Amino acid sequence: MSLTRVARGLLAQRQGYHGGALLKLGHTRRLSSTNPVRQGRVVLGCGSNVVDSFFMVKALPQPGEKGFFQDPTKVLEAEYVGGVTLNHLCWAQLLGTPTGLLALQGTDHHGKLIRQELVKMGVATQFIEVKSSYTTSQSLVFVEEAGERSIIMAKGATSQINKQQVLESFGEAIATSGSMVSTEISQVPLSGVLELLRLARENGIPSVVDLDVSPHVAVNEALLGTQEEFIEVCRSADVLKPARHAAEGALHLLNSDLSHDDIEVMDTMQLTALLRQLCGSRLVAMTDGLAPACFVTENCAVSVPPVKLERVVDATGAGDAFLGGLIATMNKLGGIPSARE
């Protein structure tokens, strides 16, 4: 199976969505792979799973000021379940790939809400560790009348998924039930991400990392770990799925000889190819908004333009849907796509 055919499959849509997020799974030949997907198992994803709580306000409050809700009799506008990893697992499940979430959640309202939504989507919940001592992840989203917003996030128990926690809580599930492991650089501590990748490698199953934030955000703002751990994650995953903004920061960290100006003038394909070379990934699939998606392996590079839509309502989560499509395609093919027929 050629990489070109895989990429075209990703961008051929069952439904319209920004950036070719969904794919149409056709009749394909199974490719040989050193990391074959194990049949009868599920794709196990560990990462962001969160409830977004929306509040409509007259104006975003400034320090020292008081603010008011748009409706004086209504505080909470709506609650939505999401998160980087939860989203791509749901898209893969929708496309026919069995998936399950590895997570720490509380017995609180938000934990129950997430698990209820996962059951509706068909995503396995038996791998979630639920305890009253855990706090489920939540984001408070304040939206003013003009449309501007501010977000306050609490990673909750996801921030506790370190190396030891992964081994104790998820090691057996990966060994006995995993066909593939997906994770992220977004909310999970980098030591936990590295342990997930180690367990995937130890059990001979493919690993996928969604590179969702830059090294600066991961290390200095989210406090997920060190720069060295960030580099090790990038070099340990079989498949990397970065957004361009995150890839630019990663490239500068991976090769300090590259200046920001050097990186900014590169097109998406050049960035994708260089990232694959520096990380040694078997596949790097990069998205860049409305620009073509790029897929690069050791022997092949493919650029695929997005499907044109008459109207884009909201591009939020398009990258998560894209990764869900990629995971579903790898599951359909039985392994990580290569350039060989």
Share of the chain above pLDDT 90, in %: 69
Q: Give the pLDDT band of residue 258 (cuts 50, 70, 90).
A: confident
Q: Give the pLDDT band of residue 340 (cuts 50, 70, 90).
A: very low
Give the DSSP per-residue string, 131-181. -TT----EEEEEEETTS-EEEEEE-GGGGG--HHHHHHHHHHHHHHHEEEE
The identity of residue 257, as a single letter, is D
pLDDT for the residue 33: 47
Q: How far apart are CA 191 and CA 254, in angstroms?
A: 18
Q: What pTM was computed for the model?
A: 0.84
At 149-194, the pLDDT tens digits run: 888 889 999 999 999 999 999 999 999 999 999 999 999 999 999 9
At 15-57, the pLDDT tens digits run: 333 333 333 223 233 333 445 666 679 999 999 999 999 999 9
Residue 138 pLDDT greater than 70, yes or no: yes
Alpha-carbon distances, residue 50 vs 87, 140, 213, 283 (angstroms) = 10, 10, 17, 28
pLDDT for the residue 289: 83
Of 236, 207, 234, 239, the C-alpha closest to 338 is 239
Backbone angles phi, psi at 86, to 5 degrees: -55, -40
Own/partner contacts of 272-275, CB < 8 Å, gap of 24 or more, are 272/247, 272/296, 272/301, 273/301, 275/234, 275/240, 275/242, 275/247, 275/250, 275/251
Bigger pLDDT: 27 vs 249: 249
pLDDT for the residue 36: 62
Q: Give the pLDDT band of residue 62 (cuts 50, 70, 90).
A: confident
Q: Give the pLDDT band of residue 314 (cuts 50, 70, 90).
A: low
Residue count of the chain: 341
Q: Give the pLDDT band of residue 312 (cuts 50, 70, 90).
A: confident
Q: What is the mean pLDDT of residues 300-328?
A: 86
- What SS3 state is found at 193? helix
